[in-house]
Amino acid sequence: MTTVGFIGLGIMGGPMAVNLVKAGYDVLGYDVTPARTELLVEAGGRAAVGIAEAVQKADVVVTMVRDSADVEAVALGDHGILANSRPGQLYIDTSSISPTTSRDVAEAAKPLGVRVLDAPVSGGEPGAIEGNLSIMVGGEADDFEAARPVLEVVGATVVHVGPHGAGQTVKAANQLIVAGTIELVAEAIVFLEAYGVDTEAAIRVLAGGLAGNRILDRKAAGMLARRFEPGFRIDLHHKDMGIVTSAAREAGVVIPLGSAVAQLIASLKAQGDGGLDHSALLKLVEQLSGRVSR
């Protein structure tokens, strides 16, 4: 039985680890919040007392943490993953972080013989629970093939997109598209409501035409009802848009619409709405339109 050391058992990591347990993997989990580890144990996994144990007893190590700083601390720290790894071990980082950080971690792991993949995911909490995430993977092709069985448990679309850092670059593009689409759906909903249109009927017909998209399919109902329970928090999308805008600037690429949406997301965070789902962009559109959010 392959043992997976899973570090980071939050909204995304918890369900992913549970799905690995259901698939027959021996999952040794660790999270800074003990209650999250307890949920994994209840599902049939095991609890590690710290990062060192999760790494030392694992064949494959997976991380799902918040940002680049967390990955650097967990992977490169004195008591972190690389400090407790062994040659040939496979380390898969599924966090959404800077491509530069992913390349730095891979470079630090190379002399140790540790095989590293950056494998950020898309699909939010529902995708993590259902095991149908989209996973974009950067790293060596042989290492990707070795990791494929684990990744295909948690993802329905698993694609090798290039060398180290490429997975994070594709994820940044994903977050750019998602943010822009949510903003346009929010604007469309406020526009429709201003004219007294049957919005549920309007969403159905829009979803069936060229305007159809996954945001309409998965987010529009909650937006119409003003339910913004987090599947993916504004705080996290704000972080991701920072990665997008920084990477675009480094490459000399202009993203005018993306930059505007990044500022709107930053505004929501500044107003104290960082804990809401990113579909809460609807609230800001209403405010800017002089309409009171219901």
The domains of the chain, with CATH numbers, are 3-162 (3.40.50.720), 169-288 (1.10.1040.10)
Q: What is the pLDDT of residue 251?
A: 94
> Chain-wide mean pLDDT for the chain?
96
Confidence at 231, pLDDT banded by 50, 70, 90: confident
Q: What is the pLDDT of residue 1?
A: 66
Q: Which residues of 75-93 are buried (b: 16+ CB within 10 A; e: fewer)?
A: bbeeebbbebbeeebbbbb
Share of the chain above pLDDT 70, in %: 99
Q: What is the pLDDT of residue 293?
A: 59
CA torsion through residues 203, 205, 207, 210, sign: negative
CA distance 113 to 90: 9
Active site residues: 171
Query: Residue 32, Cα to own-chain centre: how many angstroms?
Result: 19
CA distance 2 to 12: 21
- pLDDT tens-digit map of 276-294: 999 999 999 999 999 975 5
- pLDDT tens-digit map of 100-150: 999 999 999 999 999 999 999 999 899 999 999 999 999 999 999 999 999
CA distance 131 to 255: 32
The pLDDT of 91-104, averaged and rounded, is 97
Share of the chain above pLDDT 90, in %: 97
Q: Which helix (H) or strand (E) holds 91?
A: strand 90-93
- pLDDT tens-digit map of 171-189: 999 999 999 999 999 999 9
CA distance 284 to 20: 38
CA distance 83 to 117: 17
Contact assessment for residue 176 and residue 143, using Cβ atoms and an 8 Å cutoff: no
Which residues, including other chains, have CB under 8 Å from residue 126's CB and lie 6 or more apart?
Answer: 218, 231
Closest CA to 124 of 133, 113, 115: 133
Closest CA to 50 of 83, 91, 17, 1: 83
CA distance 269 to 258: 17
Confidence at 151, pLDDT banded by 50, 70, 90: very high
What residue has token string 């799902």? 64
The pLDDT of 12-25, averaged and rounded, is 98
